[in-house]
Structure 1
Amino acid sequence: MTKRLVQIGLFITLTSAAIAQALPFAKKDKADTITLFGEGIISTPDDEFGGTFTPDGKTVFFSKSVPGSYFYTICFSEFKNGTWTAPQVAPFSGTYRDFDPVIAPDGETMLFASDRPVGDEAKHDYDIWMVQRTGTGWGKPTRLPEPVNSAFDEHFASMAASGNIYFSSTRPDSTGNQTGSDVYSSKRVDGTYKTAERMNAVSTDAFELDVIIAPDESYILVGAAGRPDGLGGFDIFISRQVKGQWHEAVNAGPKINSPFRDYSPRISPDGKYLFFTSERDFTTLRKPTAPLTYPELVKFFRGTLNGLGNIYQIDLDEIVKSK
């Protein structure tokens, strides 16, 4: 029996390693360097943010925005024949302002934010919606009930392996104070979400918007603006849970964050990579040895690094182990 268990364990280890190597987004450069993801196909001169993957890594869902954030659409691309296909609008998106898709660890559930109506009632705030994978694709989205959603904005949500949900909301806290946008968690017990609790360790008087929980709930990544320890207009922060207590969120550091907006983090399905969005532009690559000519300026403005959002990746160890 012992020999048999060892053989099974070895098979699982080798299979997991093979799957990890087969994931199409596996990086070949140095672990501590960021890489522009899907340049020309997914990261383009348009405004893209928030890449989330199916468990096999072969389908990525992401958001595209009209500059100025007047309209958001969820799109997807598939990895076929060694390349990412031309993106398409997700079958459940394209009519309302839908954004920030996050696929749960089970690979069967996706959460996203939307202003779509509830029945015949038009919505003037954002809510968290859920869509389930079916045998032929993705089903019809459903709005999560209270206590996850409220009469205020819910911008972003992610789910742990336990089913617990972590999300951001502009609702007032338990004392009635409304500081902008904070991070909340709601435990799933017997299929029902319990009272949402403000996560005081990661919520401040600043604007906490993006919320990605590790599958095992050992750490949480938060995208926030206006914090005094920020490096730019928006930064990614990390908080760890130790013995049931959440530690204060700290800046993920200059390998991730920059003087530009860095936000919308995601964890790859193999747990190895951080995918995030940045609005860093061509000035990060150009040394100002001479003034730009007008044709050079136009080329930069129409290129991928024109200051709109792009999706990047880096080894997750660079922030998880170093913080």
Structure 2
Amino acid sequence: MRSHRLAWVLVVALTCTAADAGDLVGPGVISTGQQETTVALSPDGATLVFMRSDLAEQDDTILVSRRQGANWSTPEVAPFSGRWHDSEPTFSPDGKRVYFVSNRPPHAGDAPITAEMNGHSYPGTHLWYVERDAKGRWGEPVHVDGALNEGSMIYNPSLAANGDVYFSAHRPDSGKFYQVYVARRTAQGLAAPERVDLGDVTHNRMDPAIDPQERFILFAGDEGDSLGRADIYIAFRQPDGRWGTPEHLAGDVNSSDLENAPSLGPHFGELYIASNRQPATRFPKTRDDVDSLQRRLSGPLNGSRNLWRFDISDVLRQHGLTAEETSR
């Protein structure tokens, strides 16, 4: 991270409309000293939804912010969130729905969803969506019925333009780790999930972000060459319809810290991720007083997860994709 870039973004406190690599999203407004992850932008770029949680991620809430000129508004708890363990929002490619996962009871009278793994019990997740009308008003959450929600561990949904739903989960054919799945849209609704073949299931794969035309897919994991706990990878659809070998994204996207929750923005090559990267502390440092120490330790670069924006358009062009081909 370059100090002049960090100083610049701290002054403007916004997400730029032009594709620059490594911009912190809304420092002090969206990205704070708390835990933020899983950001999604509406197709017109005017509305931003994301999740904020405690550091242990036991209490997740979905927030919404709106573009105000060159800035983002102070986030508010989304009208459909704030009571349950709600997380990982994503816009449908047409912007008419926001999908998210939650432990809320699937139907009136049901118990909240609970998951168990390795002897531990914690809030589970099912897939839900809310409609958004032409005036930006949110409807009531709708539970997505069907085989996709038969378990209790579905994470980071991402929708293709044809209605196919990609997500990560731990299912009987996942091996020891999480894998990426797709539930394809049919005339009868969503079909039973299929595991997306990205290679050996001994690798952990989470948080898919699908190109609306399903030409490429991004995810978080470790294919054996991760720089940190998890990095962002990309795989391209081959002429025979299969997925190519996942490629570790080069450049500044990945670091020695944790990167996860990739999502695609409305512009060509616009990529958002969550990362807990922070500047290296060098000693001796400028001596802190109590106020300066508090400002630094409670700021967005304190080691909590923040939201970052990158440009991967060169990677897409190298694989023959253009802005027109990847438009929503």
Question: Structure 2 CA distance, aligned partners of 1:148 and 1:292?
Answer: 54
Deviation at 1:318, TM superposition (A): 4.2
Question: Structure 1 CA distance, aligned partners of 2:223 and 2:41?
Answer: 29
1:185-236, CA deviations, whole angstroms, 9 ceiling, x for partnerless residues?
A: 1211115111211112156323322011001100001012x54211111211
Change (3 A) 1:270 1:118: same
The equivalent residue for 1:121 is 110
Q: Percent identity?
A: 29
Question: Structure 1 CA distance, aligned partners of 2:16 and 2:129?
Answer: 26
The equivalent residue for 1:212 is 209
Question: Structure 2 CA distance, aligned partners of 1:84 and 1:231?
Answer: 32
Q: Secondary structure at the match of 1:320?
A: helix
The equivalent residue for 1:64 is 52
Q: Please give the residue correspondences for 1:2-21 in structure 2 after superposition, counting only pairs within 5 Å.
A: none
Change (3 A) 1:118 1:171: same
Deviation at 1:292, TM superposition (A): 6.1
Question: Structure 2 CA distance, aligned partners of 1:261 and 1:46?
Answer: 15
The equivalent residue for 1:301 is 297
- For residue 247 of structure 1, the aligned residue among 233, 244, 247 is 244
What are structure 2's unaligned runs of at least 5 residues? 1-13, 115-123, 320-328
Q: Please give the residue correspondences for 1:118-267 in structure 2 after superposition, counting only pairs within 5 Å.
A: 118-119=106-107, 120-122=109-111, 123-124=113-114, 125-135=124-134, 137-173=137-173, 178-201=175-198, 204-224=201-221, 226-243=222-239, 244-267=241-264
Question: Structure 2 CA distance, aligned partners of 1:310 and 1:180?
Answer: 25
How many residues of Structure 1 are paired with residues of Structure 2 in the alignment?
A: 291
Question: Structure 2 CA distance, aligned partners of 1:163 and 1:206?
Answer: 27
CA RMSD of aligned residues (A): 2.1
TM-score (norm 1): 0.84
What are structure 1's unaligned runs of at least 5 residues? 1-22
2:278 maps to 1:290? no
Deviation at 1:25, TM superposition (A): 3.5
The equivalent residue for 1:3 is none
Deviation at 1:27, TM superposition (A): 2.7
2:316 maps to 1:317? no
Matching residue's letter, 1:247 = G
2:94 maps to 1:106? yes
Out of 45-54 and 247-256, give the one that drifted further. Answer: 247-256
Q: Secondary structure at the match of 1:40?
A: coil
Equivalent residues of 2:15, 2:23 under 8 A apart = no
Out of 153-162 and 184-193, give the one that drifted further. Answer: 184-193
TM-score (norm 2): 0.83
Matching residue's letter, 1:241 = R
Change (3 A) 1:91 1:24: same
2:76 maps to 1:84? no
Question: Structure 2 CA distance, aligned partners of 1:281 and 1:274?
Answer: 19
Q: Secondary structure at the match of 1:148?
A: helix
Matching residue's letter, 2:284 = A
Equivalent residues of 1:128, 1:156 under 8 A apart = no
Matching residue's letter, 1:92 = F
Question: Structure 1 CA distance, aligned partners of 2:274 and 2:316?
Answer: 18
The equivalent residue for 1:27 is 18
Question: Structure 1 CA distance, aligned partners of 2:233 and 2:132?
Answer: 31
Q: Secondary structure at the match of 1:206?
A: coil
The equivalent residue for 1:15 is none
Question: Structure 2 CA distance, aligned partners of 1:247 and 1:290?
Answer: 48
